[in-house]
Every structure is written in C-alpha cells, then in structure tokens.
Amino acid sequence: MEVPILKFTPNPQSRRAFLRGSAATMAGIVTAQAASGTQADPLITEVQDWASVTGDGVDATPYGARATPFIRLNKDAVSSRFDTS
C-alpha cells in the first residue's frame, strides 16, 4: 500500500485576501464607533494618579523584615483560650 505524499504550496493570494478583509472589518468597526457618538470611559482614557506615581522602592522592606508588627503571645494566654477543662 502506497501512502500519498501531500505537498504544501503556499498561496499568497489567501494572505492578501485575509489582510484586505481584516482592514475592511477594522475600518467598519471604527466608522461604527465614530457614528454612534458614545463617549469613552474616562477611567480608561485618562491617566489615573495610581498609574503615574511610582510605589515604594525595593529597599522599603528589607529581606527578612516583617511588613506588619509581630504580636507575641505568651504560652499561658494561648493555653487559657483553648482550655477545655
């Protein structure tokens, strides 16, 4: 039994047709949005304060340091909370 060998021949027309169709679709979308007259959301189009300011530097919390204060409980306080006797 002989297996047929399929040869791939690229078709440049299909790529061009795809790009032409994509360009026409995008032009239609842009035209429809412009014709609808809706205003863009200012939370998306305007730069927000939190997006334009840098945060804490890398050395704000050194390696191994706790970010929040640590509350140490003594053994008696913990055992009396869970004492079932």
Q: pLDDT digits over 39-72, tens only?
A: 778 888 888 888 888 887 777 777 777 767 777 7
Residue 1 belongs to some domain of the structure: no
11 has a pLDDT exceeding 70: no
Residue 7 belongs to some domain of the structure: no
CA 8 to chain CA mean position, Å? 38
Residue 4 belongs to some domain of the structure: no
Left if phi > 0, otherwise alpha if psi is -120 to 50, otherwise beta: which for 37? left
Residue 24 belongs to some domain of the structure: yes
Residue 29 belongs to some domain of the structure: yes
> Residue 43 is part of which domain span?
12-81
Total domains, the chain: 1
| Contact of 42 with 36, CB cutoff 8 Å | no
Residue 73 belongs to some domain of the structure: yes
Residue 3 belongs to some domain of the structure: no
The rounded distance, in Å, linking the Cα atoms of 17 and 42 is 37
Residue 18 belongs to some domain of the structure: yes
Sorting pLDDT into bands at 50, 70 and 90, what band is 85?
A: low
Angle at 44 between CA 40 and CA 47, to 5 degrees: 120
